[in-house]
Amino acid sequence: MARQQLQVLHALDVARTQRYHAWAVVIAGMGFFADAYDIFCITLVTKLLGRIYYQVPGQREPGMLPRRIEAAINGVTFCGMIVGQLLFGWLGDKVGRKMFYGKTIMLMIMGSFLSGLSFGNTADGVMATLCFFRFWLGVGIGGDYPLSATIISEYSNKRTRGSLIAAVFAMEGFGILAGCIVTLVVSATFQARFNPPAYAEDHMASVPPQADYVWRIILMVGAIPAVFTYRWRVMMPETARYTALVARDAEKAARDMSKVLKVEFSGEQDKIEGFTKDRDYGVFSRRFARRHGWHLVGAVASWFVLDIVFYSQIILQEEIFRDIKWIPEANSMSALEEAYRVARAQAIIALCGTLPGYWFTIAFVDVVGRKAIQFLGFTMMKGLMLVVAGFYHQLTQPGRRIWLVVMYAFTFFFANFGPNSTTFIIPAEIFPAHVRTTCHGISSAAGKVGAIVGTFGFLYASQRADGSNETETGYPSGIGVRASLFVLAACNVLGIIFTCLLPEPNGRSLEEVSGEPINGEDADLGDSKVLPL
């Protein structure tokens, strides 16, 4: 059957890339800039928190966060994100994409600002309030995932849709880099002003009282980009696809898009019944399982596996940096110098690997397709991790460390020019409009479950197998970095397999790739898999 569409949806599909596309990308992208800043800046200050609040007088090594506290601080944001992704994903399909778009950014503003005001009579009390505020920060960040991805997807034309969604997600790279830059500037400023000695020289003086302002300032800065985004988010019109296909108000969809595209459309309200007939099935219905069950399995599993690998890489950074001597022994630095050096090392990785990967995705996602990039990313990460794992001991020797850094940076490059970007893009394209944000929320929530597995599982697993660093880190012996890399390579193989379950949405309209009904009849799903039930 020939593909039919409402006039307004066809106009969106064939429109040239223009100002309103850029406007939408900036509005959504600034949210992701703030998201990434807020998620990753906490890893830059955890060592500083340990020195400030958990220093034991007379101890040879500087204070560290207790394992339970570090786990809570790192994990509570992910737990909030899971709640936000599922809740706002469901609400996005029930009441509209725009309705809660401003609410998520407000949660992020409040969560970032209040995190910097964490209080308590004891060290554990301060950490408890920090965890409380970061949970709600996570709820806001989580809600941003399905809403931003779906809004940009539904606003875009089919020729550059992938690049526009990727451009929103690419702002995550700038957010990570911004966190490093803010930490560098703030810690360097306080270091120059107060000039504390190394811990080995004077235990107490190595952590000046003013250091307590440093981590608070770093966390609170995350609210600034979100503040600038709020007004524009609440002014955005609802997407035409939601208004026409879910709310079933074609006249309003035509009016809204006439203002955006500067072209007059007829509402075609008489055609709505044919496009929306028998569209009341939910995500857990047999009909959805038959038509999109494998798609959801593929999206969920790919994102789950990817985040195990991606967040494990971040955890392994500290051990790798220590092995290649990028960061000196903790007792040879002051608290502020250690924060500076950690941020500098992560900024180098972000500049050399993380940022270029995002922008390669923008350039090629609409040329070679989403699945090809996802296959490439998983395959290259697998290969690089096997090489690094196989020659890890040799690569940590003087004169060879640069090769370890290069290959490690390339794993981040192919994560971002690969599944870290495409797992965000694909779920916003392959599901019907009435369950699109719900399915994206489920997929992204599965990713954050993987992030929890990667963060906590490999936090323990990456510890040296001989137990030689148990006193230094407070963690029991694990399987070591080398063995951990072999496990992550195996995870990438699973990612390759799960990618096979996904359809290729490149160059196709959202209605075509998701099999939206035409006059009450289901459209052909093309290369999509259908479950026989």
pLDDT tens track for 411-449? 989 999 999 999 999 999 999 999 999 999 999 999 999
In 95-210, which ranges are continuous DSSP H helix? 101-115, 123-155, 161-194
Residues 239-279: tens digit of each pLDDT: 988 988 888 888 888 888 887 777 776 766 767 666 666 67
Task: Please tell me which residue, 344 or 353, carries the higher pLDDT value.
Answer: 344
Q: Which two tokens stand for residue 245?
A: 């296909």
CATH code: domain 7-273+283-508 is 1.20.1250.20
For residue 318, what are the CA distances in angstroms to 56, 353, 418? Answer: 23, 16, 24
Residue 320 above 80 pLDDT?
A: no
Q: Note the pLDDT of residue 474.
A: 56
- Bridge partners (DSSP) of residue 230 are none
Residues 165-203: tens digit of each pLDDT: 999 999 999 999 999 999 999 999 999 999 999 998 988
Residues 13-42: tens digit of each pLDDT: 888 888 888 999 999 999 999 999 999 899
Domain ranges of the chain: 7-273+283-508
Task: Please tell me which residue, 206 or 318, carries the higher pLDDT value.
Answer: 206
Averaged pLDDT for residues 140-150: 96
Residues 58-81: tens digit of each pLDDT: 788 898 888 788 888 888 999 999
Verdict on whether the full-model pTM lies above 0.75: yes
- Pick the closest to residue 378 from 294, 482, 494, 297 (CA basis): 494
Average pLDDT, the chain: 87
Residue 319 above 80 pLDDT?
A: no
Residues 370-422: tens digit of each pLDDT: 999 999 999 999 999 899 888 877 877 777 777 877 888 899 899 999 999 99
Handedness of CA 204, 208, 209, 213 (dihedral sign): negative
Q: Note the pLDDT of residue 87.
A: 97
Is residue 515 within 8 A of residue 523, CB to CB? The reply is yes
Share above pLDDT 90 across residues of the chain, in percent, rounded to a whole number: 53
CA angle 95, 96, 100 (to 5 degrees): 90
